[in-house]
Amino acid sequence: MGNTLIEISNVSKVYGSDGAQTHALRGVGFEIHEGEFVAIIGQSGSGKSTLMNIIGFLDTVTTGHYKFKGQNVTTFTDDQLAHIRNKEIGFVFQSFNLLPRTTSLDNVRMPLVYAGVPDAEQIERAQDVLKMVGLEHRMGHMPNQLSGGQQQRVAIARALINKPSLILADEPTGNLDSESGKEVMKIFDKLNKDGHTVILVTHEKNIAAHAKRVIEVLDGKIVRDEKNGHKIIV
Amino acid sequence: MYDFVQSFKLAFSSLLKNKVRAFLTSLGIMIGIASVIMVVSIGSGAQSLILNQIKSIGSNLISILPGGRVENGPPAAVLGVTITTLDLDDFDAISDPANVPNAVGVSPYVKGNATMSYNGDAIDSFFNGVSYMFPEVEDIKISDGRFFTEMEQDGMQKVAVIGSQVAEDLFNGTDPIGQNIKIKRESFQVIGVIEPRGVTAFQNRDDQVYIPVTVAQKIMLGINYVNLIRVKVDSDENIERTIYDIEQTLRVTHNIRDPKDDDFMVESLDTAVEMLTIITDVLKFFLAAIAAVSLIIGGIGIMNIMLISVTERTREIGLRKALGAKRRRILEQFLFESIVVTLVGGFAGIVLGSVISTLVALIARSAGYDWDLVISFQAIIVAFAVSCFVGIVFGYYPAQKAAKLNPIEALRHE
């Protein structure tokens, strides 16, 4: 098992002001190590999206601590969070989130624009990752010229381009037919085999089955944390 | 610097993806800038037209008007009051080289309107009673025949020198010299035709008839006064001195001790040109200010479109933030978008305004007006600066709004 990547301890998230408070997370804690393939499952409203947002530095905790690679990120500012998102996280979204009227190549290299990489290198690296997901012949295509599966592969290429420590996928097959969904999951399997840390957020059992570890969230609490069928005690 | 260039590229490429909208947005600025440049240019052209026309009467001219200076109010003539304090004795006194040594020509003016006819053809026009020195005073040339002499003036001979238009209208190409025309009921012998002097905005100076001032006063109008006396001075440097000479001469003939009691006004053309320049300048800038309002409207248009654009692209903004864009980068991208739109609009406006100004000048010139094409470099610089300013000011709020968006909510936006 690799080094500890994520260390979440006693994290709570409360939305709203005093009058109408919503407790999205109530004292959640776990660790994720480098090279793991984790599925976070739960029904909608369970708090799994909030958990994903916090792991992905899109949101901050109300109470508790979050350490990433041993660094306490709990008190990071917006711009610090933007920086760490850019460097460490590769997002894959349910609805792909590709920019319309923009070529695959330009979509894929977007994180590098914000990383301060020179143009020539941006293009070179974008070509490399597009090749990796098997879309070297679709580099100049616009999203509306691609199938759903292809669009999600472009999005995965975009997630990979800045060599993130963690790939965070939110219902990556939710908008795909089963055939394309299988294809996309194959890519995640391969990425994990190559050593990438992958966190999947899903409510589909068969998708979660690809992961080696399953964390189930219910009503803002972790109700199950199993690795290869064995319970993990935090 | 790298960030700046990248933000600029992003702004530029997202504008290219929405060419029609970018164009429509810049249209407001384009029209605003074009109208400022046009108004300033056409204003300057009209100004030059007016001033050139005054100057075309001749340089080194001094006008003597009846009636004293009124400190608080318009001259009496404006109110329709005829002042009769100038007459031919004054003309004689000013004509005397002993009194006004630098005068090369002096002419009194009286004017009347009459029907003029020859051989059944009739026109309605003006006759001017002037002195035999009129050609020197107004720098006119006789194309045919001659002007009347001092003797004809003193002897009240009914002779007429006609404008080129009159010659054409009444004589249809036949030689008018020696023929008799009727002005009112009096018969005048045509002794000369004046070379065409051109149409000006105020009057056609070729459709007038010039007769001895004595004849005009006594026979045609039955008056003893004159409306105006003009004096041509030999050179520029002597204008001030000649004004003084004329004032002294008239005070003697009018028995005036105190200059405050002057019942006449002596003015050089320069004074008139100066005054008109001030008036037309004020008008010009007033119009430019009105045109500038359209720039503000254009700016608000940009703000509108950019706000809509921010709402429409909320997901894009959320995505960019999720992928690591800091606030400043989002702000820069949207700010650059509005700046590029305004600059492109501003540049197009400068070109459009200049082209239209040039066309107006060409048309005016081909119609025979003495119209200067003035495209003010200053106006272009100001227009450019204003469009930058508008882009930044009206682009800032939407850009700020975009930069502040919460990435989670932005990504969830439908």
Count of C-beta atoms within a 10 Å radius of residue A98: 24
* pLDDT tens-place string over residues B316-364: 999 999 999 999 999 999 999 999 999 999 999 999 999 999 999 999 8
- Which residues does chain B have within 8 Å of residue A99's beta carbon, measured at their own beta carbons? 316, 319
Q: A34 in contact with B at a CB cutoff of 8 Å?
A: no
> Quick check: A59 and B408 CB within 8 A?
yes
Last residue of a domain, one of B208, B233, B258: B233
For position B353, what pLDDT does the model report? 92
User: Which residues between 111 and 140 in chain A have a beta carbon less than 8 angstroms from any beta carbon of chain B?
Assistant: 111, 113-116
Same domain? For B194 and B132 the reply is yes
B175, B205, B233 - which closes a domain:
B233
- Mark whether B307 and B374 lie in a shared domain: yes
Nearest CA-CA distance, residue B25 and chain A, Å: 20
Within an 8 Å CB–CB cutoff, is residue A196 touching chain B?
no
**pLDDT of B72:** 55
Give the model's pLDDT for residue B267: 85
Q: What's the pLDDT score for residue A90?
A: 95
Per DSSP, B370 falls in state -
- Rounded distance, CA B176 to CA B174, Å? 6
- Please check whether residue B201 is in contact with residue B364, taking contact to mean a CB–CB distance below 8 angstroms: no
Note whether residue B85 is domain-resident.
no
**Residue B151 covered by a domain:** yes
Helices (H), strands (E): how many in chain B?
13, 10
Mean pLDDT score, A39-49: 91
Per-residue pLDDT at B53:
75
| CA dist., res. A151 & res. A96, Å (int) | 7
Checking if the pLDDT of A13 tops 70, the result is yes
Domain A37-58+84-231 is in which class? alpha beta
Indicate yes or no: CB of A99 within 8 angstroms of CB of B408.
Answer: no
pTM of the model: 0.73
Question: What pLDDT shows up at residue B79?
Answer: 64
* pLDDT at residue number B274: 82
Chain A contact for B1 (CB, 8 A cutoff): no
Question: What is d(CA B220, CA B129) in angstroms, rounded to the nearest whole number?
Answer: 9
Residue B371 belongs to a domain: yes
Whether A74 contacts chain B with CB within 8 A: no
Which of B7, B314, B323 has the most A C-beta neighbours within 10 Å, making it the best mutation to test the interface with A? B323
Counting the structural domains of chain B, the total is 2
User: What's the CA gap between B411 and B391, in Å, rounded?
Assistant: 28
Q: pLDDT at position B249, please?
A: 93
Q: Which of B3, B17, B324 sits opposite A111 (nearest CB)?
A: B324
Q: Which amino acid is at A161?
A: I
User: Which pLDDT belongs to residue B201?
Assistant: 47
CB A111 within 8 A of CB A164: no
Residues B312, B402: one domain?
yes
Range of the domain at B7: 2-54+275-412
**Interval A55-92: pLDDT, tens:** 999 999 999 999 999 999 998 999 999 999 999 999 99
Distance from CA of B405 to the nearest CA of A (A): 11
First CA to last CA across chain A, in angstroms?
A: 16
Please, where are the H alpha helices in chain A?
48-55, 78-88, 104-108, 110-115, 119-132, 148-160, 178-193, 205-208
Q: How far apart are CA B53 and CA A64, in angstroms?
A: 86
Residues B39 and B119 in one domain: no
Q: Which residues of chain B have pLDDT under 70?
A: 57-58, 70-80, 198-203
